[in-house]
Structure 1
Amino acid sequence: MPYQFNPLFNPSAKFYAPAATEAKDAKAPPTGADLYARFAVAGALGCAITHGALTPVDVVKTRIQLSPEIYNKGMINAFRQIISSEGVGALLTGLGPTVVGYAIQGAFKFGGYEFWKKQAIDYFGVEKASQNRQAIYLGASGIAEFFADIALCPLEATRIRLVSQPTFASGLASGFLRILREEGPGAFYAGFGPILFKQIPYTMAKFAVYEISVEKILQLTKKKKEDLTNGQTTGLNLVSGLIAGMAAAVISQPADTLLSKINKTKGEPGQSTTSRLISMSKQLGLKGLYTGMTARLVMIGTLTAGQFLIYGDIKRLLNATGGVEIAAVPK
């Protein structure tokens, strides 16, 4: 029997879902705004938990990027240097803006990805969408990340300032207000260009590689997603998320370094963000732009695997089945 699109079977628009007869007494799955709100909640929790848990790694990565002349003996030694000079509490610097910022970003990113993917399927039709699913993964994730970054940028600017200047403020609220008071609202978006160049390629690689990895692993094992046990699903999400995270980390590393640099201090009077970025890129060179790559691979690989795992589990708890963790079903 040919496959056909059935939105009742899969409300998040899985490609080529086989038609199924719903039991009359079964509870109707959420749709519309209710469905996407559940995706957003799952994404917010996944990103907040993973980024918050990896704050110490992020602190070390940022310090290596900002002060390579001091932290120049690898990630483990950088941990030791920070603890020795500032105490173990320094590893949690920026935890507040990290959790809040990435909760907001995760809601926009995962919820937006599901929304824009569904819009693309509706526009192109199921068969054409399935044939061009990689392009849809890339386009939907890129659009979702753009809007997510608008919300994330002020909190990321605050986080980097707290990490780079530990005496700048005591926490999220005081740091945010000090930047606003002394430098104006524009300071929060000084790194908007770098964060777009960092996050959009990162997110496009993250979702596209994840989706393709899931699809290829299922093909190799000759299994269908719905036939997997909970343990097998967990393993699939972790392995695919890890592969996606590694790819995304490499692609987004140069922009991540520039983002850290541009948010470390305010620019000179009259100096544009573009000129600052060009100057920094020339000074750093290709090798400098990949400073802290080991720490970032550990961080991004781990958190991406964790995000897809948490996202899938929360979706199931909220009855928001399908979506990003479901690979395309072949004809």
Structure 2
Amino acid sequence: MAEENGNGQAVDEKNGGKRLNKRQRGAIILAILCIGSAVFGVHQWVKSKTHIETDNAFIESHVHSVSSRIPALVKRVAVVDNQFVHKGDLLVELDTSDYQARAETAAAALDLARNETAGDAAQLEGARATVGLAKARLEQAEIDLKRAEALFAKEVIPREQLDKLKTARTVAQMQLRESQEGERRAQATLGMTSQGKKDAKVAQRQSQLAEAKLSLSYTRIVAVSDGYITKKSVEPGNYVQPGQPLMALVSLQDSWVTANYKESQLTDVRPGQRVEFSVDAYPGLSFRGNVESLMAGTGAAFSLLPPENATGNYVKVVQRVPVRIAIDAASDPNHLLRVGMSVVPTILTGKSFRQVLGL
């Protein structure tokens, strides 16, 4: 049985020893709590330097807007919302009637241009022959004139005959000019330029045919990558215009996390550091990734209305810098992550306890 002595200490009569009083026990318990709190506080402070965490983060990915490149009537829609498609799969088929007719018209125009070009080529050859004949006549006229001038100097022929030969040379010169103009007209008709290129009509019709075939190919709208269909807003019978959004294609193969860290948290953050993150939709699951890059500015700097700190009253606000985190595909083999999901990423800086304390 324990009794208290005159000093207030508890005495154990059976064991003959003394026990601590209430004040001493309270002091010991308080000391233990203080030491424990200090150890826990240091541990949390060190962890905050080696494990950089934020809850302002979301899943993002490439979202391809699917639209038509030509105006046409929708003939068939081959997909539904949330359907997975592979690259090259047909999404929407447009009516081909108008564009098929245009392609056939362009092909016929090309054949006609080739036939016309053959006739124009024959005309050009005839014009060239006429030029050659005119040159020969001019050369002969000049020879006859020189011979007549020599004979006239010796008074063998009269002046009248000399004048006739001069006139004949002038006529030959005019005929040569006329034939050369005819050759140029034939070249222009054929489409030859000063650089010697020809068949301009054929080239023009070939370009029109290629354009018509290209427009015809646009009647089949296919997936540009693997992904899931969402925001489908097109149905058979709709008339669509170029650039009109028909649906969106979300690729989950190369998703990433955009984490908006406080600027004060980025002191030791570097590209390549490991990241572990959890997603609210899948409690208990952990995903992995690595820091890919840091944005060149804060989110506020690139907002629609960036702050003007040089005007008015300035209030300092801690800014957030978007950090792009690449997701390790091996940690999400079933593609559970979806665009917009809330994420809590933790960047592992790799600093040791000594480095944090500066030892």
Task: Establish whether TM, by shorter chain, passes 0.5.
Answer: no
TM-score, normalised relative to structure 2: 0.20
Which of the two has greater helix per residue?
A: 1
> Greater CA radius of gyration, 1 or 2?
2
TM-score, normalised relative to structure 1: 0.21
